[in-house]
Structure 1
């Protein structure tokens, strides 16, 4: 690790030295800023981007935070989630160290909705178990501006409790003439030395009547992820119990290749001033090819011995190997056509039609085998450092009495001890597709001191998918031998040791997952031809769901100006219809069931803005909002056990109600003379019918078919709880120190701190913490921009949070973490810039734990990232 950091420092130094020596020919500042009443777009320096963001925030009618164009390019951010994480009260959720979801104000990610160019989009990740939008599928380079609307106006969708995020794409009419911009970079991952690379290109041309833009982006990384997990922790049953503590040690390493691609294009035509027609198309994809090397020491299944939280000595511990070469795919196809008319009489019309298709698929052919008998090793373990237990392996031998006992220490562990005949594969699959058609209309009419607004939206969305299905088990060992294609799981062990930074106590070699997957695919074809494997069984009918949702919305609002005060009030009406169909299995009989739910709701909103002085802005806002349950959580499909007492049902909960909220926001914003901002904002959300996971009686006759009353059966699913509350304070500072003498006047600071709290109740428990709620979130950046140099050191931190409820009371928590990034830019001239992005320099270890930190359930690390390259603009 040290060697690679020194390499990165040396390359960074070269760029910095070149910057100082070439200052005479460097161009300060950047491309011109085009500011108008709708948006601010900047393609230049850190300072200009921040000034654009500050000015857009000042002009906004509601409480909002905004990231302008090149704020994205000045950070080492490959996707829009990483860019959003720089804004106040925004935290990021990572997968394998890469930003994926965002959480605004510590709320569950389902409470934040997303628009792309004003059109609502919905996520269908992980089988539709969440409506949260995946930001890792949207490359940051596609965007010109990101707006986080923390208070709502009636023209915005009501499906938001804490925020609506609008991702705004680039318009060619913002800059006349021919413009070509792009970048290319190459670097490496500190852990494992895998490459990372990125490139983007955008070409635009316009005159005063016509313009077009085309572009694309690519980002790829190859990484290793160290991972250690513990299944559960047993508690002692009494004072004499000597078999408690961790139930297993799960030793994993993932070898990943991830890549994002984006293509976009647009044409715009302005036949006359105030008139515009346009068409835009976007394709984005996130791909993840993931190899798993995993060994589980199943401590709770040992033949004998003792174990506790600190140490253990165990005899004949079964070892299970799990391997796969899996594929994750997420794709978005987005097409929008529209038109704008702004007349001299103050009348304006904006109309757009959109088609969006989102596909999320996963295929994880997980191959497993275990040891048996004396092939299972004995062991001792030491948890002096609970995050990294040290395990010593011993042979298991037969004692004088024939019972297994501890033999000699194993100095060269043989991984080829898994049972070939007992090898099986779980054909885990998930696929969810959403097709959405949306029509949106907005009209305004300006009078003296008064603007009236009217509009509506129609959205028709079809969702077909399944929750993650892993019930089809294929016995590769037995079936392979039966068809003359024997499968030996041990034959894929290589002679290459794991490249790991985590201590373990014994060494492991990699398994050739690629070759294993190739042979399994060939074997499955043979088994299918022989009638021993049926792909149709990979996804049971009870896991599938088919849903159709329609939203018809209309709103009316007014904006009145009373001297220094501006008041925006309105009401939005939404009629929401959900047709929900699926299949239920009971007593060996499949029964199709369907349900229609209709909701008619009014959502009022009020935003008051008071310009107390030229630089002081006060805001007060209130609104009603909604968050609708995820498609997978609502699914009709279920498996029913009529023989249990009481009967049991496992599946979705089609009776789920939406979560509704009343919310209040207030802020004080002081805009520093020259540039900069100091602001304090507070918010409170009252939420009804909060969602949580549990097991409760069905309480309805929905499953009463075949003459069986199942209203008293226990349903394990998502339910509506009672009331909840979420509140917090946000502090934000941004300032360049232009009052300092040269050259120190190029220094600046941007930072924010958010303090949060909240909880909800269920029928049986009170004051349950929200999933994802860190009580503190902080971001800080120190930058320097002068003489053609743009340098930035950025720090992010969030405190611990609850990750999963796990049936309430036994949840898994995530330990807070910090992240340190360094970004360097040097403008050789007005057309070329060199860059160096050094990310995750703290080499964070991400930790999950059960209740207290001395019981970690997952420890993961991916290492730092280094990327070097150049940007150009003509």
Structure 2
């Protein structure tokens, strides 16, 4: 019977501790492609197979360099040197180490927002099968614990045999399979993660059991892998949002731009991630393998946003001790002190008003640096969430290999659901004095004198009761057949295949707002029949009252059935959870048919010079229907949109080996990215805010969105020597029909709403350079010879073209500079890693539709144009470390830390330069033990 010995491929960068490697590698023409790679598949004799290496990190890194050297297609990989040795808790956290990959930090302090070379349009596959989150095209990487993974491949350019759908690239997540192990194995991992923001130690557990047996009907292997983690978290924010002219009431003080509110919030709570995957493999004959496998990945969370604000422009508020800075500008200002709407700038004639007058004036404003505000209103708000995600996938198939031919047939079915039930209650009181500093070390700082919001007296109901209940569901049936034949001569291999995918998605929502009984700030909280613990202390926010705690509605009460119904009775809405609303539903169905043919070629040109590569093409047909609804003037109108797309995606690559460790390569490919179902939803929904300081808002899809398309060109020069390599890669992406979403102030039935819609922005380009390398210092004496270095640098120059309002600006979310720099040590059973990851500034939101005052030029005045406004994130970096020691071949301990320098998210409005917010990312220290039985 077949015994497979597979070695885990390494990479050019190891993130935290031994046993975790990043490499830039790719499948050689004779190899299995990454999208087809499955641990259940027999590999050609000349391929590099995955095996569990029990040796050093260095061996893994050197193996990766050799794979990179022999590969015509670039793939950056993260690989566990051995089971249980991924040091990062999630896939997203691990991916931040890959060359060209940039990440952001989510509200719950997890690494999210993965982008490849500045683009987030990534197709995710699981063992070569398409894998997604509910109604989205992508998978939320943080939903899969890294302990479930054997390897992750980041594929940066398409080849014909890879599933289409990622103009940024394809990320293939690979699970462990039983035939990867020669011997029975039980691997237990236990880790404690200490988060400094919450001052708690949280558990992370994993167990893998596997074995294989020779039987009378062939060799059979079985594997079970389960993991679970619990995380308590707290991520404080401080914000200084929209600026507004003080020339209006209540101040009537011309010449200044003041922030509208002074506030912040805490995103805090807990979440758990249960995960299980299992696999069976049966080598029925030497030619035939049959397999079946499945995955469950879940997410459970009880979390909340606890807002606190002093509202600076309400009636009765005073201002004093005003100090302005030198950020002065000319702005349009409407009667409310905001940037005017397009209708106010250029009003259209009507029968009753044939000669309308623009509703704004030009003012010269200077930003207020600091001021004291008296008798302000305030509110504290609890947004209590109960969230659950469930991802299920089951698949199976067979692999048949005889002589020069090989066929793989695979079937899989996935279901993904997400529920998010949110209840929001606001309360508030008057504050005697609020001291505001808008710009202290590029961030705001506030003092609510006396901390009155930690005193339960005189709280009143504010704004309203908000209920927001969501459920999203997605499913996918997919079938594919991949074949390859050894031809011989200058075409060593010919590949072709077919794929069918049947996808559906449903999104439901109930959104109910009801204003406070008796009016805003009228009903005393103490007059209501509420439990004594309705108010609880929530964590403080740095730079707000020195981090002192405050009171807010109890999130656990808001999540309880009894608590919700008591509040519903107070606010006069129906008891029980609200029914989903037909105007907030969409239902999508999509079928895709694809095929491909691809040839590998090779020419010996004399001496060490060899030319090889691939040429292929992938035609696709997609039929789609999305049913939604819109509400105009309280009338629900069903809308159905149908589309059909045909695309032909060619690819070609060439590698020229020049001898002496030097080689060059070039690739070309065309890729597409279909719009997400939510973006295509033809419906429109909106709601009137019960908070007078919050702009009414809504959202709408765009059924006319076209798929994004990208033509990609890559070229590399690589040089290898015995103890390392250096590689320089240039890339160029010509992207058409790029999709971006932004809010625009629209008037519906005489009321203004910020309606967020996606749109195609025409043409965009992305070009840049990647430099990566690694080296080990064998020439140093004694213990010093255990040192090594690894790192990478990415330059990304992007620009939006065409006639869009963003023309000439960089692509959303793209940092121009990104680098990783790491110092490695491995000797005498000790392994360590220190890595610094940095990205330069980027804009993460277009805020043109927001009503903040902003500079206006003579040209914009002449054309009635609204100046573009962006939210920029300042440069930042994270320092991580890991240190591990092998007590023996079966027992290992390690310690580590992430973001140990306490990097923070800091953003500002541009072109005004107004500070917007600061988010206090957590520092996490970890200690773990891994035992193999």
**1:575 aligns to 2:621 (yes or no):** yes
User: Does structure 1 residue 190 correspond to structure 2 residue 196?
Assistant: yes
Q: 1:811-822 to 2 correspondence within 5 Å?
A: 811-822=870-881
Contact in 1 for aligned 2:744/2:848 (Cα 8 Å): no
Whether 1:845 aligns to 2:885 is no
Instruction: Give the Cα separation in 2 of the matches to 1:504 and 1:60.
Output: 58
2: CA distance, partners of 1:818 / 1:540: 44
2:506 is aligned with 1:464: yes
Residue 596 (str. 1) matches residue 642 (str. 2): yes
Contact 2:80 2:86 in 1 (8 A): no
Deviation at 1:220, TM superposition (A): 2.0
Distance 2:602 2:789 in 1: 34
Q: Which has the higher helix share?
A: 1
In structure 2, the residue matched to 1:742 is 782
Matched, 1:377 2:432: yes
In structure 2, the partner of 1:4 is: none
Q: 1:387 to 1:214 in 2, by over 3 A?
A: same
Q: Could you give the per-residue CA deviations for residues 586-619 of structure 1, whole angstroms, max 9, x where no partner exists? A: 3332222212100111111111122222633321
CA distance in 2, matches of 1:464, 1:420: 39
Q: Label 1:412 to 1:473 Cα distance change in 2 as closer, same or farther (>3 A).
A: closer
> 1:31-53: per-residue Cα shift (whole Å, max 9, x none)?
xxx99726434454322332343
- For the aligned residue pairs, the C-alpha RMSD in angstroms reads 3.4
Equivalent of 1:269 in 273, 282, 285: 282
Distance 1:634-1:454 versus aligned 2 partners, 3 A rule: same
Give the conservation status (yes or no) of the 8 Å contact 1:689–1:722.
yes
Aligned with residue 348 of structure 1, among 406, 430, 445: 406
In structure 1, distance between residues paired with 2:380 and 2:744: 36
Give the alignment partner of residue 47 of structure 2, picking from 37, 41, 59: 37
State whether residues 50 and 180 of structure 2, in contact with CA within 8 Å, keep that contact through their aligned partners in structure 1: no
- Map of 2:222 onto structure 1: 212
Partner of 1:445: 485
State the alpha-carbon separation in 1 of the partners of residues 809 and 137 from structure 2.
Answer: 22
Match of 1:24?
Answer: none
Distance 2:783 2:653 in 1: 43
Paired with 1:342 and 1:557, the residues of 2 have a C-alpha distance of 19
2:399–2:406 CA contact under 8 A, matched in 1: yes
In 2, are the aligned partners of 1:416 and 1:490 still within 8 Å (CA)? no
Q: Would the aligned equivalents of 2:125 and 2:131 in 1 still touch at CA under 8 Å?
A: yes
String of CA shifts for 1:745-788, please: whole Å, max 9, x gaps: 21111100001111113534321221110011111221111111
Which residue is equivalent to 1:69?
80
Q: Find the counterpart in structure 1 of residue 797 from structure 2.
A: 757
* C-alpha displacement of 1:369: 2.2
SS in 2 for 1:472: strand
- Map 1:467-546 to 2 at 5 A: 470-473=511-514, 475=516, 486-488=528-530, 492-494=534-536, 498=539, 501-504=542-545, 507-511=548-552, 513-517=554-558, 521-524=562-565, 527=568, 532-533=573-574, 537=578, 539-546=580-587
Q: Is the partner of 1:828 in helix, strand or coil?
A: strand
For 2:812 and 2:487, locate their aligned partners in 1 and report how far apart those are by CA, in whole Å.
46
Written as runs of structure 1 = structure 2, the 5 A alignment for 1:72-151 is 76-95=87-106, 96-107=108-119, 109=120, 111-124=121-134, 128=135, 131-151=137-157
Could you say if the C-alpha distance between residues 302 and 863 of structure 1 is closer, same or farther in structure 2, counting changes exceeding 3 Å? farther
Structure 2 spans left out of the alignment, 5+ residues: 1-16, 19-42, 323-366, 605-609, 688-696, 850-867
Cα deviation code 1:188-223 (max 9, x no counterpart):
212231222211111111246221110111222212
Alpha-carbon distance in structure 2 between the residues aligned to 1:229 and 1:152: 41
Give the 3 Å change call, closer, same or farther, for CA 510–746 of structure 1 in structure 2: farther
Pick from 662, 669, 684 the counterpart of residue 732 of structure 2. Answer: 684
Structure 2 matches for 1:148-167, cutoff 5 A?
Answer: 148-167=154-173
**Residues 196 and 867 in structure 1, CA contact (< 8 A), matched pair in contact too:** no
| Greater CA drift, 323-332 or 821-830 | 323-332
Q: CA 1:498–1:650 in structure 2 vs 1: closer, same or farther (change >3 Å)?
A: closer
Offset, 1:656? 0.9
Distance in 1 separating the partners of 2:455 and 2:745: 47
TM-score by length of 1: 0.84
Distance 1:591 1:381, change over 3 A: closer
Q: Which residue of 1 aligns with 2:840?
A: 799
Residues 472 and 538, structure 1, Cα contact 8 Å, conserved in 2: no
SS in 1 for 2:902: coil
Please state how far the C-alpha of 1:77 moved relative to its aligned partner: 0.6
Equivalent position of 2:655 in the other structure? 609
Distance 1:502 1:50, change over 3 A: farther
Asked if structure 2 preserves the Cα contact closer than 8 Å seen for 1:477 and 1:486, the reply is no
Structure 1 residues 861-870 or 832-841, which shifts more? 861-870
Gaps of 5+ in 1: 1-14, 17-33, 395-409, 642-647, 704-712
Task: Verify the 8 A CA contact 2:237 2:264 in the aligned structure 1.
Answer: yes
> For 2:109 and 2:686, how far apart are their aligned partners in 1?
39
2:231 counterpart residue number? 221
Moved more, 93-102 or 314-323: 93-102
TM-score under structure 2 length normalisation: 0.79
Q: Does the 8 Å contact 2:385/2:559 carry over to 1? A: no
CA contact (8 A) 2:379 2:462 kept: no
Worse-matched range after superposition: 97-106 or 246-255: 246-255
Q: Aligned pairs, how many? A: 796
Distance in 2 (CA, whole Å) between partners of 1:300 and 1:697 is 21
CA distance in 2, matches of 1:512, 1:529: 15
Q: Equivalents in 2 of 1:302, 1:593: separation in Å? A: 44
Distance 2:699 2:172 in 1: 37
Q: Secondary structure at the match of 1:416?
A: coil
Residue 812 of structure 2 is aligned to residue 771 of structure 1: yes
Query: Counterpart of 1:652?
Result: 701
Measure, in 1, the Cα distance between the counterparts of 2:648 and 2:390. Answer: 34
- 1:38–1:241 distance in 2 versus 1, CA, 3 Å: farther
TM-aligned CA deviation for residue 314 of structure 1: 2.0
Structure 1 residue 807: Cα displacement: 3.9
Cross-structure match for 1:727? 767
- TM-superposed CA distance for 1:455, in Å, is 0.3
Kindly provide the CA deviation profile for residues 295-332 of structure 1, in whole angstroms up to 9, marking residues without a partner as x: 11112335343465201222321101101331233321
